[in-house]
Chains A and B, each alone.
With several copies, the nearest count.
Chain A
Amino acid sequence: PAVLAEPAARSAPLVLAAASMQEAMSAAADEWARRGHVRPVIAFAASSALARQAQAGGRADLFVSADEQWMDVLARGGLIVPGTRADLVRNRLVVVAPVGRGERITVRRIATILSAGPLAMADPRAVPAGRYGEAALTRLGVWQSVAPHVVRAADVRAALALVERGAAPYGIVYATDARASRKVRVVGVFPADSHPPILYPVARLRNGVSPDAEGFRRFLLSPAGRAIFARFGFAAA
């Protein structure tokens, strides 16, 4: 009797992760591999694109979303394994201005200041950062007066670039993005209660087959995992 089949090579889990987490996720995967596991394969794209790929039946094991809404969509569709959803990290929303320019934002004058010129933010209709920004400005009661000045970038990084280049005097971005740019400084931080919490949820996907997925998910949520994300400016959830 011949050897009919070799045992299937232990397949690496496929992780779908939001593009904005590329560095942090890669670092986490490296660390996981260093601990003697198979390094997961990570697919990066916008949360919406990843969610659609999962919806379409793409075989993936883990989903790390930058947007709770899309995780909700998958949950409603029965595409995630119940009980595996957890909040991985948290972010904050800030106002930035080019280095050496712009005044410090005060709640009293916020409308006046932000209406001084184009206000760069991610598209409030589409991108989570924009949605959070709109929510915060609405809560502060200034959205009506600021809205006409808003220019909607494709994502947070594009909004940041507009401020870096001086194309817009102010922009609303995540703290993680502001922190990394040497060309902008933070001139204001939105109160945490002015917008829904900015959470990055993780969950295992129904379609997944890799036995390693659960281990990697637990690693991400472990103190060691969270420490890696903290290194890139994310706050603990």
Chain B
Amino acid sequence: MILSDAEWEVVRLSLLVGGTACMAALPVAFGLAWLLARARFPGRLVLDALVHLPLVVPPVVTGWLLLLAFAPGGPIGRWLLDWFGVTVLFRWTGAAIAAAVMALPLMVRAMRLSIEAVDRRLESAARTLGADPWRVFRTVTLPLSLPGIMAGLVLGFARSIGEFGATITFVSSVPGETETLPLAIYAALQTPGGENSVWRLAAVSVSLSLVALIASEWLGRRWGRRLHVL
């Protein structure tokens, strides 16, 4: 399967956007997952709902809300412009923001599931061994939640690679800047006779996430081998 230069550019951009989105969302997602799994505070349910929001409302609405927030007149957009002189509109950074927001609920849920499964008696054991809460978190809670982190990353990456509605509504499709794989596929699908191009690009999408999948399976199996007994 030979891709044209323009198509390679689309692939490069997808990886950039998807990778950035995942990496940026990772710590945020883990922090949120931890809060939701462990902390008891008023408004916990509201936070929970907020995190799930991008999953529930149609992507187009999410994109539209992002546009309201990040437009030059919007609350975040104005602040970015005043302080840093940058705008994310029509930029790949905007596409990454959209992808990260859409991937967040998936990442948080998976991570939270693993954090909740961590045996807290191991954490108390660590504390009796002199570890302060932060060290307990780093050396016990975090590594024991690794299956959830991996699952979250895979889900998040796949979602980022496939994100369409919010991206195109928020930052439109600018070739070389925000035109990721799904946007290119959508354009091809709108055009009569564009099926060939659709198949080619969809195959690329699938391959990309297949690689992520295989990597995560492999890591997961290495990890699982250590922890499991007959």
Q: Does chain A touch chain B in the assembled complex, meaning CB atoms less than 8 Å apart?
A: yes
**Interface residues of A, Cβ cutoff 8 Å to B:** 14, 16, 19-20, 22-23, 26, 41-46, 48-53, 56-60, 69-70, 72-73, 118, 120, 123, 125-127, 150-155, 157-159, 161-162, 165-167, 176-177, 179-182
- A167 B71 Cβ-Cβ under 8 A: yes
| Chain B: CB-nearest residue to A155 | B190
Most buried by A among B173, B179, B187, B190: B190
Contacts of A41 in B (CB 8 A): 90, 174-177
**A155 to B64 Cα, complex, angstroms:** 13
Contacts of B71 in A (CB 8 A): 56-58, 165-167
B104 within 8 A of A: no
Q: Report, as a range, how many residues of chain B touch the other chain.
A: 35 or more
User: From residue B25, how far is it (CB to closest CB) to chain A in Å?
Assistant: 24
**Interface residues of B, Cβ cutoff 8 Å to A:** 60, 63-64, 67-68, 71-74, 77, 87, 89-90, 165, 168-179, 183, 186-193
**Beyond A70-B192, A166-B72, 11 additional pairs, beta carbon < 8 A:** A44-B174, A45-B169, A56-B67, A56-B71, A56-B72, A57-B72, A57-B74, A59-B90, A125-B190, A167-B72, A177-B192
| Chain A: CB-nearest residue to B87 | A59
**A127 to B176 Cα, complex, angstroms:** 19
User: From residue B81, how far is it (CB to closest CB) to chain A in Å?
Assistant: 10
- A49 B192 Cβ-Cβ under 8 A: no
Given contacts A56-B73, A161-B169, A166-B73, contact A22 B187 (CB under 8 A): yes
Given contacts A44-B187, A56-B74, contact A179 B192 (CB under 8 A): yes
- B89 A19 Cβ-Cβ under 8 A: no
